[in-house]
Amino acid sequence: MSQTDTDHHVAAVRAFNRFYTRKLGVLDQQLLKSPYSLSEARVLYELAHREDLSAKEIGSELGLDAGYLSRIVQNFDETGLITRKPLPSDRRQYRLSLTAKGRQACARLERSSQEDVGAMLAALPANGSQQLIGAMAVIERLLGAPNTPPPAAILRGPRPGDMGWVVQSHGALYAGEYGFDSSFEGLVAEITAKFLASFDASRERCWIADIDGAQVGSVFLVRHSDDVAKIRLLLVDPAGRGQKLGQRLVAECIAFAKACGYRKITLWTQSILLAARKIYQDAGFVLVASEANRSFGQDLISETWELEL
């Protein structure tokens, strides 16, 4: 990444931070029209939702300066929001607990927050809430613990816009990883257009793999003949790799083909697609034909695989 790109990305993140803090009103002296600052409200929240916390633990969890936290705790103690008891293991540290008054104050903050966020979501356009929640989940995962695995993908049917994603993602991924030219993207567009135009719900399916509202994989099972089904457009985006998503997608195709009464599944692939070939082989498919050819700007060996059901 060039320095110009880095500067642009940094500026974009800082701009988002400014927008979001203004949107939530966290720069106001009092949060949610309460007498508490954001830091004070966060301390109240932690005390309301966790047991036997010490001031040191809260400071570490929230990243608060020890002196600043000490003033917050002192103020809460003086106003009757908390009780403090020395820890048996270290009498310099205190176990903090909310009083009845403190729990009432936290409950009022919770209600205000619920109402404010609810009003913000209600003002969004159709499907806006789902898009927002998905985007926030991605941000949380990317900026969270670096070794935290992504959540498992869900498999669902296609929604409006998914076919465009299938075409775009195939074009971009195969160009980047295998050097395919635009004719491959054109082929994918033809396949998806045909699927939409002549879709037979009783014998055909498309599955989209989804993580936090973002597409990360696809596969199609289409009618090839009365007895033969065909797998097409198996794709796992890099964001969905590492959780055997390709195997899950192929397994769905096999199970559906059996339920429909097909006797065989066929598919067409390229010898250089090693990960996909292993998935097919592990699922019981057998290589029945291969042919050298010039396709998508590359010298390739096309392969036909079949599975008897």
Range scoring the smallest mean pLDDT among 50-54, 178-182, 229-233: 50-54
User: Does the pLDDT of residue 23 top 80, yes or no?
Assistant: no
How many domains, in total, are found in the chain?
2
User: Does the pLDDT of residue 301 top 70, yes or no?
Assistant: yes
Give me the CATH number covering residue 49: 1.10.10.10
**Does some domain include residue 134?**
no
Q: Is 115 in the same domain as 215?
A: no
Residue 278 has what pLDDT?
95
Which of 123, 146, 174 is the last residue before a domain boundary? 123
Q: Is 164 in the same domain as 106?
A: no
**Does some domain include residue 133?**
no
Alpha-carbon gap, residue 22 to 222, rounded angstroms: 50
Which of 123, 138, 164 is the last residue before a domain boundary? 123
More reliable by pLDDT, 78 or 139: 78
Residue 213 has what pLDDT?
81
**Does some domain include residue 119?**
yes
Which of 104, 123, 142 is the last residue before a domain boundary? 123
Alpha-carbon gap, residue 160 to 127, rounded angstroms: 12
Find the mean pLDDT for residues 188-210.
95
Q: Is 8 in the same domain as 114?
A: yes
Residue 210 · residue 153 · CB < 8 Å: yes
Residue 176 has what pLDDT?
92
Alpha-carbon gap, residue 213 to 271, rounded angstroms: 32
User: Does the pLDDT of residue 29 top 50, yes or no?
Assistant: no
**Does some domain include residue 201?**
yes
Provide the pLDDT confidence category of residue 282 given band limits of 50, 70 and 90.
very high
Q: Is 273 in the same domain as 176?
A: yes
Provide the pLDDT confidence category of residue 264 given band limits of 50, 70 and 90.
very high
Give me the CATH number covering residue 171: 3.40.630.30
More reliable by pLDDT, 187 or 153: 187
Structural domain range at position 43: 3-123
User: Does the pLDDT of residue 150 top 70, yes or no?
Assistant: no
Provide the pLDDT confidence category of residue 50 given band limits of 50, 70 and 90.
confident
User: Does the pLDDT of residue 251 top 90, yes or no?
Assistant: yes
What pLDDT, in 10s, does the model give residues 124-135? 887 777 778 777
Residue 185 has what pLDDT?
96
Q: Is 182 in the same domain as 117?
A: no
User: Does the pLDDT of residue 30 top 60, yes or no?
Assistant: no
Provide the pLDDT confidence category of residue 288 given band limits of 50, 70 and 90.
very high
**Does some domain include residue 162?**
yes
Q: Is 50 in the same domain as 117?
A: yes
**Does some domain include residue 304?**
yes
Residue 25 has what pLDDT?
60
Whose tokens are 């309460």? That residue is: 34
Residue 149 has what pLDDT?
67
More reliable by pLDDT, 213 or 218: 218
